[in-house]
Amino acid sequence: GAGVSQSPSNKVTEKGKDVELRCDPISGHTALYWYRQRLGQGLEFLIYFQGNSAPDKSGLPSDRFSAERTGESVSTLTIQRTQQEDSAVYLCASSLSRASYEQYFGPGTRLTVT
Amino acid sequence: AQTVTQSQPEMSVQEAETVTLSCTYDTSESDYYLFWYKQPPSRQMILVIRQEAYKQQNATENRFSVNFQKAAKSFSLKISDSQLGDAAMYFCAYQIRMDSNYQLIWGAGTKLIIKP
């Protein structure tokens, strides 16, 4: 079946512009995670959605970052007034339920802020 | 706070030989999951193997096995009969449970080079 998809694959933007990154989870997966991966580093947790519950936003680095998810479908991560330190790969993962330990990852969006 | 440490930024191994990647973690929890993920240049994060902390038996998946030492908080990955396709970044991850949030805490990764 289809895996997690993300778009765009690559995004180059000018400092100060807003960007939107999209994640399509695996159908039926209720849990969705966003992670950030800076060059040469491991992943940092950003935000978690579970069904219709309030999201866990504890990993968002600043109020310039926000994310939405409608039900158990697509999620959008928005970064406002981008800064050069926002340059990274943004990875999305989904899992079957909140009790499921296995997360399935998308290919990520590489964001470059010039 | 939970942390994951991978002390080897890069490892290389001859094709067909065995290599071990190290990982240590810090936690006060008694029940948790540990994972090894592989990330090839395509960026796709692929699950290699997982270990439940309550299980004493080390997990194995074909050529991949772990040495889980709970008391020492160590979780190393052994790759036997290394193949060219094993070349990738390998990340060790610990799964914490905060309410219903099963987020992963990641190490910095080890780059594995396979020499033909």
CB within 8 Å: A41 and B47: no
Cα nearest neighbour of B4 on chain A: A42
- What pLDDT sits at residue B101? 72
Cα nearest neighbour of B96 on chain A: A101
Q: Which of A48, A102, A107 lies at the smallest CB-CB distance from B103?
A: A48
CB within 8 Å: A45 and B100: no
Q: Is the Cβ–Cβ distance between B15 and B84 less than 8 Å?
A: yes
CB within 8 Å: B95 and A101: yes
Q: What confidence tens digit (pLDDT) does each residue in B64-103 have? A: 999 999 999 999 999 999 999 999 999 999 987 766 677 7
Q: Please provide the DSSP assignment of B81-103 as one string.
A: S--GGG-EEEEEEEE--BTTB--
Domains in chain B (CATH in brackets) are 3-115 (2.60.40.10)
Which amino acid type is present at position A73? Answer: S
The tens place of each residue's pLDDT in chain A, 114 residues long, gives 589 999 999 999 999 999 999 999 999 898 999 999 998 888 999 999 988 888 999 999 999 999 999 878 899 999 999 999 999 999 999 998 755 668 899 999 999 999
Structural domain boundaries of chain A?
Answer: 10-96
- What pLDDT sits at residue A94? 93
CB within 8 Å: B42 and A107: yes
Is residue A71 classed exposed, middle or buried when 0-12, 13-18 and 19+ CB atoms within 10 A define those classes?
A: exposed
Closest-CA distance, B11 to chain A, in angstroms, reads 15
Domain at A10-96, CATH from 3.40.50.720, 2.60.40.10, 3.40.50.11540, 2.160.10.10: 2.60.40.10
Place of tokens 């039900």: A71
